[in-house]
Structure 1
């Protein structure tokens, strides 16, 4: 420790030659590995199922480099110039970010239907202000937030880094720089930095593990759960004076072990891996070891490979490529999607393969061009570098440019008018709307309520607080339970309750099945533990309801893909039947004790595209129709397991023949109502229009 407590930097000018001597080619190559893994993962390269850990590599590198810059300045001068630091960050990050955001706004205007532009405009503004991570964390807690389709989703990681750039220098200045302790005693200053970084590391890691294990949506995107990764790099920067004491053999071994950990994470982890949490420690440790190895053995082993000109070139343009690749992928998929045969939602990886390849090529060409024409010139521009105030002023200009682009996109969206998508060809229904794409998108549960709760909530209200119809004397008493595919039938049941004097209780939670199996939370990217707690509470509430005639269960078919096995991996077609049977055996007998009939709604036909978006692109609704064969009755394995668990009480209702009466499934009803609000949920208006059929089928099931 003694060598660490001695000021490691002589008080000489930080010359260009000194900075060049400190430059490490292996770090530039490591950036190439990180960005390539992220790009490949986003492009749907199957064997890199854990390519998302490239972001964690970037976090460690940022913590190492930024802390190194700050500590070197503190060691040389005894203080940290915040204005100098922030001016450099402005010149380094904002010009290119503003170009990408403005370009994305313009491309969105051309390639994305008007109905989808308003959400992109908000995302653009959040990205421009450096808070995209909190924007997407908030979205991940809300119902049906389709964040993966945002062309600026990747700005979440930049938000984490930018917030770190704000907080970390301020901490150092407050604890060390303002007191002048670094001039008087470097050992005291060093110990304070160790304690601060150590505290950040421990607290953030504990939060990361706790929130990841609980399924909190903010765990993936939050600074509080990622700061430990940046602190790991920062702690290594403090250890630089002693890293040179390693033997070359030890350094080479450390680098190879680090490479194995990083590459292994990319190959073996996947979206079902609870992340970040403790799993993120593997790529973080790997990156730290790679950095350690490069200090003493930069010309040997894996460090030498990383220092090769080709990876260094990719690493040099990595920031630009990271910024460009995701908008290119998502906007190309929005304009030229490949419909998923099973009716699942379209994502960037579901664009046609040729489109994905073209988008990647375009993004790399844009990265190279913008690196040399914008990023590097603005970073070294004399008129900016000469004045910190001017750098700050131009930083405001760059942010304002991005915000103006976002506002322009929002205004153009608001001004876009809509007409009903189809004329009524049958006697009009007494149900109001939806008849335009915007009305269809809005025809959904408005906000989370105690009875239709959000992702994070586990509390369940008393039954009387979630009742529709009379408290006593109802002709039938029914409980509607399940996920959003249960909630989509509430308008039909509510109308039936009004017209027939039924009493309907309803409890629902997005992406939460009543079957007792663990579920992967797609938005929060972790196990959906809040669902498990909520489900248990609902079972208790249902047991309190007297005189139930039937329990109606709604659930989507995609649980066959997101149910979790005992080892934490996702279910497969070979394992889902046994997994669902085991969960149903724990659930359906209990439901059968509460009501003589347990009625499961067969999942509705699933369009392979977002219906309002499709309708907003065309004047002919038939162009958005879809084939019946591949998109109906996809939940057969689930139904079979549920039926076997309580055969005497079990019933099903299948409205597929009405929703899709022919081989080509329509998306607009004969009465002119748009049937879907997205790619898998019925609109509230269309659901209500089916109330007579629903009441008739449910009456038969209760017989």
Structure 2
């Protein structure tokens, strides 16, 4: 090999100081980007730099072995990867479980344990890809081991890459390895992967970020540099220096030029990956004229040496600190990742390096494989045992509130039925005019909280025996139905999860009043006639669902009243930071949609979107049971940012058959907005009401609706 790569067993294996420096740059981009996202928004591309480096080194080592011996020892290859990666990874996974137990809220324990199991089994990236399409997981706090997704991608790459090289070597002829055949084979992997990356990054950006198929081209790009190594070595010094310096500038600038709000990896990943390839290809031929001297500087190489351990440790410590102290400032975040260098250096010094350089493990690959198997088994067992020994028995969400007739049950009519709360009073502790009522003020302690914060995420209609979310199949709608199926008054609901959060209250009202209640709901999809974006991607399925619902409500089965609400969405084509434009566009779309229903003879009632908190109320209450005021959010921010309330007010203004219902004074009666009112946890996350608190608002909502219907 002419790029300074020799088999790892060789005593004369060359050392590439520039690559060690690239590792340092990559890990610093990642850790600083995680600690100071606003300062270094694209720091996550350091992972892509690692991918190219790994592809180059692994491919170069395998080709060197093929050229030297005519074969590849799969046992030796997998043994080297096992002793290099798995011991340190196992230690950090177990340590992450300990940090979870000590500092993270119980609501995260079960998911963290399964994340550890997936990480130990080299499949976390696929688990995260599935979760990225789950509406209820989209806003969840990131996993304490989320950074293991990139290791899963690399480990999957290591499983099949030597097999591909062997197949290509056989096709090219073992006696004389033809690098042209290797390049063709790599192109057959890289080009489809890049095309798929571009497509999926636009169509499904959540999964595209994590899945292996959108990242293979980055590893293959490094492999291609290894294949053409000899020719790159013969580049004129001036040309090689220009190439290497330009590549380094591309890598460094990508930390601030790559936009995390745009599709990634896709085209954006070309900047850091091509830059990395250019540095690797040109640095050695450039000699002193290139960046090899700067990248190979002693302190830079020292960071590169511990880059793997630093990458492993910084994220769990950062997440643990945020769970304990709340959102960290930039200086605090940088302090945490700086302190993570301590366990990183210790892990490198006493675990990673001794095992990697062990003569006994080098001479006996089977023993190294056993060490890797033990490490994997230990992490798997830790994740499974954490579920069984630490996670408490799962508590059921509180039962739904009960209905009780007033007077003689034999003669009581439906309209004489009263809603009686079987759980905590919640909003019932507030007066008729709740704004300013100190009974709703934030306090540090509550004698009891229902639902328990550890199970609050399941206190919603999505977890009822028959969940009521989008019910559409083959162009037909299947609404959920409640109340009296033969009732003389029919009420329809349409909207997203912020509509279904009111079902606990509306179900009680429908049963008390004898109404027919039909719910048309789809997660991440408001009732609107324009295309909107969710997680920065258009939702064409939402638009087609809306057409079906509008036709049903205006032509097929008109209700006596339509009840709608939704959270904030950005109309497709509006820039993420153009909030005012998005509100106006949203309001115009809602207004046109509501007017069409009203013109068909159905009045529309709009529940102004509920306030949005800055923190997950359930997790915050679990971590701060004696300091609940930490979970409060100032009222102005809660009412004006994040939610769809502003668009609702703009859209309803001036429409005679559209009526705005605002219950937010009973949700946030006092500044700041409290997480617990009347013994009830108000939110199950940062923006969805618990079923318990929503039910406690039923009498207030019933008053508003009956006035409209009467």
Q: TM-score range by the shorter chain?
A: 0.7 to 0.9
Match of 2:184 among 192, 195, 219: 195
2:514 matched to which residue of 1? Answer: 501
Match of 1:184 among 153, 175, 178: 175
Matching of residue 229 in structure 1 with residue 230 in structure 2: no
Map 1:108-187 → 2, pairs under 5 A: 108-145=100-137, 146=139, 148-176=141-169, 182-187=173-178
Shift of 1:507: 2.9
1:341 matched to which residue of 2? Answer: none
> Is the deviation greater in 479-488 or in 90-99?
479-488
2:84 matched to which residue of 1? Answer: 92
Structure-2 separation of matches of 1:66 and 1:210 = 28
2:680 matched to which residue of 1? Answer: 673
Query: How well do the aligned residues superpose, as a CA RMSD in angstroms?
Result: 3.4
Match of 2:578 among 572, 575, 586: 572
Structure-2 separation of matches of 1:330 and 1:149 = 8
1:76 matched to which residue of 2? Answer: 68
Structure-1 separation of matches of 2:631 and 2:294 = 52
1:661 matched to which residue of 2? Answer: 669
User: CA 1:594 to 1:64, structure 2 compared with 1: closer, same or farther past 3 Å?
Assistant: farther
1:42 matched to which residue of 2? Answer: 34
Question: Alpha-carbon deviations, 1:636-674, whole Å to 9, x = none?
Answer: 532344235x7334322111122233345443443x433
Question: Alpha-carbon deviations, 1:577-618, whole Å to 9, x = none?
Answer: 444345446644444445633333222233433333333345
Contact 2:529 2:590 in 1 (8 A): yes
Contact 1:520 1:528 in 2 (8 A): yes
1:446 matched to which residue of 2? Answer: 463
Contact 1:275 1:526 in 2 (8 A): no
| Count of residues in Structure 1 that have an aligned counterpart in Structure 2 | 662
Structure-2 separation of matches of 1:589 and 1:110 = 54
> Is the deviation greater in 635-644 or in 130-139?
635-644
Q: Provide the TM-score with structure 1 as the length reference.
A: 0.85
1:491 matched to which residue of 2? Answer: 504
Map 1:388-403 → 2, pairs under 5 A: 388-403=365-380
1:686 matched to which residue of 2? Answer: 693
List gaps (5 residues or longer) in structure 1. 1-6, 338-349
SS in 2 for 1:299: helix
User: CA 1:419 to 1:459, structure 2 compared with 1: closer, same or farther past 3 Å?
Assistant: closer
Match of 2:567 among 541, 556, 574: 556
Shift of 1:273: 0.8
Structure-2 separation of matches of 1:185 and 1:16 = 22
Question: Alpha-carbon deviations, 1:6-38, whole Å to 9, x = none?
Answer: x9899x987645422xx3222111112211111
Shift of 1:242: 1.2
Shift of 1:539: 4.1
2:346 matched to which residue of 1? Answer: 369
Matching of residue 320 in structure 1 with residue 333 in structure 2: no
Contact 1:624 1:666 in 2 (8 A): no
> Is the deviation greater in 595-604 or in 533-542?
533-542
Map 1:258-297 → 2, pairs under 5 A: 258-297=247-286
Question: Alpha-carbon deviations, 1:174-221, whole Å to 9, x = none?
Answer: 4435x7x5423423xx34422321111122122222222212632111
Map 1:345-494 → 2, pairs under 5 A: 350-353=327-330, 355-415=332-392, 429-430=421-422, 434-444=450-460, 445-446=462-463, 452-453=469-470, 462-469=476-483, 474-494=487-507
Structure-2 separation of matches of 1:540 and 1:381 = 71
User: CA 1:593 to 1:192, structure 2 compared with 1: closer, same or farther past 3 Å?
Assistant: farther
Structure-2 separation of matches of 1:223 and 1:216 = 13
Q: Provide the TM-score with structure 2 as the length reference.
A: 0.84
Match of 2:289 among 300, 305, 315: 300
Structure-2 separation of matches of 1:106 and 1:65 = 34
Shift of 1:698: 2.6
Structure-2 separation of matches of 1:535 and 1:681 = 22
Contact 1:520 1:526 in 2 (8 A): yes
Shift of 1:537: 5.0
Shift of 1:371: 1.4
User: CA 1:281 to 1:527, structure 2 compared with 1: closer, same or farther past 3 Å?
Assistant: farther
SS in 1 for 2:609: coil
Structure-2 separation of matches of 1:86 and 1:550 = 66
Structure-2 separation of matches of 1:300 and 1:529 = 53
Map 1:537-686 → 2, pairs under 5 A: 538-557=549-568, 559=569, 563=570, 566=573, 569-581=575-587, 583-584=589-590, 587-593=593-599, 596-617=602-623, 623=629, 626-627=632-633, 629-634=635-640, 635=644, 637-643=646-652, 647-663=655-671, 665-670=673-678, 672-686=679-693
User: CA 1:75 to 1:580, structure 2 compared with 1: closer, same or farther past 3 Å?
Assistant: same
SS in 2 for 1:415: coil
Contact 2:205 2:263 in 1 (8 A): no
SS in 2 for 1:552: strand
Match of 1:28 among 20, 28, 33: 20
1:332 matched to which residue of 2? Answer: 321
User: CA 1:16 to 1:564, structure 2 compared with 1: closer, same or farther past 3 Å?
Assistant: farther
Shift of 1:377: 0.9
SS in 2 for 1:53: helix
Structure-2 separation of matches of 1:460 and 1:674 = 39
Question: Alpha-carbon deviations, 1:237-271, whole Å to 9, x = none?
Answer: 21112112321222222223323433333212222
Structure-1 separation of matches of 2:99 and 2:267 = 39
Structure-1 separation of matches of 2:571 and 2:55 = 34
User: CA 1:438 to 1:78, structure 2 compared with 1: closer, same or farther past 3 Å?
Assistant: same
Structure-1 separation of matches of 2:472 and 2:221 = 34
1:347 matched to which residue of 2? Answer: none
1:64 matched to which residue of 2? Answer: 56
Structure-1 separation of matches of 2:494 and 2:390 = 37
2:406 matched to which residue of 1? Answer: none
Contact 2:395 2:455 in 1 (8 A): no
User: CA 1:625 to 1:331, structure 2 compared with 1: closer, same or farther past 3 Å?
Assistant: closer
Structure-2 separation of matches of 1:290 and 1:13 = 22
Shift of 1:380: 0.8
> Is the deviation greater in 626-635 or in 32-41?
626-635
User: CA 1:690 to 1:528, structure 2 compared with 1: closer, same or farther past 3 Å?
Assistant: same
Structure-2 separation of matches of 1:212 and 1:450 = 31
1:340 matched to which residue of 2? Answer: none
1:208 matched to which residue of 2? Answer: 197
List gaps (5 residues or longer) in structure 2. 402-418, 425-448
Shift of 1:311: 2.4
Shift of 1:288: 1.9
